[in-house]
């Protein structure tokens, strides 16, 4: 254990769920992987609840996630951080982008953009308001270019996007006054000194936009490690079967062992017979990222699946 990153900084990782629902198996995998990785690196592991989108949130879900993490034996460093607390810093960053003309007000409504071209990332903003806009209610969009924005993911290899063609200028402050996810996450990772981000592969295509914001704001870019999505043995996404169902509070040890198995740590068949702290001790000793390299999906075996759907202590 070195406690430092390749560039010599103290390792700080995080798990940053949105409180749109309880902790489910997919988010548990991201929590487990980021936790084990931080322990492997001898670093800190922070928990941040990304509560900046109240319309999408479920009342009480943030507290419920924290309680579930506690029950599953996670030990985080410092207090849980609620992202809404750093709203003043999000606004400062937005104001900097505007002042430096790296961003501009956009009055386009959803209807105005109905005919805009689309890519895998969603609507490609056609740049309508780049030269100015006199609408009263506006969002703030950040300017993009077509220079490739790339990074080397520690699991998935080289990734790159041309933002102007693939997403167009994107929103950092919404018309309804809420801060957009990309800006909030970038500012908070910077404020917390995060050196490496371990999260689900479903967020990988948003990474170039976040790196672009880091570059514009003069923040360092952390390392990235995007873990594969868990699937049913037949390839169906697990979320389709288990939905956003909360991980159970009974049968925790079996679910935790299933998570280790999904992360390809090959837990012994009787591992779940041990205590939660013994399970973690086993995982600290057996964690490695190599089996996950270049994998975009990992099947959860049928047995573990059954335990997940019908957990017994």
In the complex, the smallest distance separating the C-beta of residue 132 from Zn ion, rounded to whole angstroms, is 10
Query: With binding defined as CB under 5 A, does residue 84 bind Zn ion?
Result: no
Query: With binding defined as CB under 5 A, does residue 108 bind Zn ion?
Result: yes
Query: CA-CA distance, 212 to 189, in Å (whole number)?
Result: 14
Q: Which residues of 11-31 are buried (b: 16+ CB within 10 A; e: fewer)?
A: bbbbbbbbbebbbbbbbbbbb
- Identify the residue whose tokens are 């999906």: 297
In the complex, the smallest distance separating the C-beta of residue 93 from Zn ion, rounded to whole angstroms, is 21
Q: Which is nearer to Zn ion, 139 or 272 (CB)?
A: 139
Choose, by CB under 5 A, the member of 30, 61, 97, 129 that binds Zn ion.
129
Q: Which is nearer to Zn ion, 125 or 212 (CB)?
A: 125
In the complex, the smallest distance separating the C-beta of residue 126 from Zn ion, rounded to whole angstroms, is 8
Residue 146 Cα to chain centre, angstroms: 25
In the complex, the smallest distance separating the C-beta of residue 113 from Zn ion, rounded to whole angstroms, is 8
Torsion of CA 136, 139, 142, 148, to 10 degrees: -130
Q: Which of these ranges, 61-69, 122-130, 184-192, 292-300, lies near Zn ion under the rule CB under 5 A?
A: 122-130
In the complex, the smallest distance separating the C-beta of residue 295 from Zn ion, rounded to whole angstroms, is 39
Q: Which is nearer to Zn ion, 96 or 128 (CB)?
A: 128
Query: With binding defined as CB under 5 A, does residue 106 bind Zn ion?
Result: yes
* Number of C-beta neighbours around residue 134 at 10 A: 8
In the complex, the smallest distance separating the C-beta of residue 145 from Zn ion, rounded to whole angstroms, is 18
Query: With binding defined as CB under 5 A, does residue 221 bind Zn ion?
Result: no
Query: With binding defined as CB under 5 A, does residue 128 bind Zn ion?
Result: yes
Q: Which is nearer to Zn ion, 108 or 255 (CB)?
A: 108
Q: Which of these ranges, 25-33, 63-71, 92-100, 104-112, lies near Zn ion under the rule CB under 5 A?
A: 104-112
In the complex, the smallest distance separating the C-beta of residue 32 from Zn ion, rounded to whole angstroms, is 41
Query: CA-CA distance, 225 to 182, in Å (whole number)?
Result: 17
Query: With binding defined as CB under 5 A, does residue 138 bind Zn ion?
Result: no
Query: With binding defined as CB under 5 A, does residue 103 bind Zn ion?
Result: no
Q: Which of these ranges, 89-97, 120-128, 193-201, 286-294, lies near Zn ion under the rule CB under 5 A?
A: 120-128
Q: Which of these ranges, 18-26, 44-52, 60-68, 100-108, lies near Zn ion under the rule CB under 5 A?
A: 100-108
Q: Which of these ranges, 14-22, 106-114, 142-150, 281-289, lies near Zn ion under the rule CB under 5 A?
A: 106-114
Query: With binding defined as CB under 5 A, does residue 163 bind Zn ion?
Result: no
In the complex, the residues that contact Zn ion under the rule CB under 5 A are 106, 108, 128-129
């Amino acid at each position: 254990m070195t406690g430092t990153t390749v560039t010599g900084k103290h390792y700080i990782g995080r798990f940053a769920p949105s409180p749109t629902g309880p902790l489910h198996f997919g988010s548990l995998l991201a929590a487990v992987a980021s936790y084990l990785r931080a322990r492997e690196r001898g670093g800190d592991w922070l928990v941040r609840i990304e509560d900046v989108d109240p319309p999408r949130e479920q009342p009480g879900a943030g507290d419920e996630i924290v309680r579930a993490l506690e029950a599953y034996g996670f030990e985080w460093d410092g207090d849980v951080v609620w992202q809404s607390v750093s709203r003043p810093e999000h606004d400062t960053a937005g104001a900097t982008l505007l002042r430096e003309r790296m961003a501009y007000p956009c009055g386009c409504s959803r209807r105005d953009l109905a005919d805009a071209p689309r890519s895998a990332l969603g609507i490609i903003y056609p740049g309508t308001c780049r030269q100015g806009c006199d609408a009263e209610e506006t969002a703030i969009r950040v300017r993009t270019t077509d220079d490739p924005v790339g990074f080397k993911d520690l699991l998935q290899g080289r990734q790159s996007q041309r933002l102007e063609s693939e997403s167009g200028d994107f929103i950092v402050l919404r018309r309804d006054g809420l801060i957009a996810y990309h800006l909030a996450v970038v500012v908070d990772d910077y404020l917390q000194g995060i050196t490496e981000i371990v999260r689900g592969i479903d967020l990988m295509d948003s990474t170039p936009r976040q790196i672009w914001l880091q570059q514009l704001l003069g923040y360092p870019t952390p390392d990235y490690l995007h873990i594969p999505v868990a699937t049913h043995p037949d390839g169906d996404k697990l979320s389709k079967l288990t939905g956003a169902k909360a991980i159970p509070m009974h049968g925790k040890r079996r679910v935790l062992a299933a998570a280790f198995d999904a992360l390809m740590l090959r837990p012994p068949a009787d591992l779940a017979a041990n205590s939660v702290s013994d399970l973690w001790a086993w995982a600290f000793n057996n964690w490695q990222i190599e089996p996950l390299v270049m994998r975009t999906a990992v099947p959860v075996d049928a047995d573990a699946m059954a335990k997940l759907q019908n957990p017994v202590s």
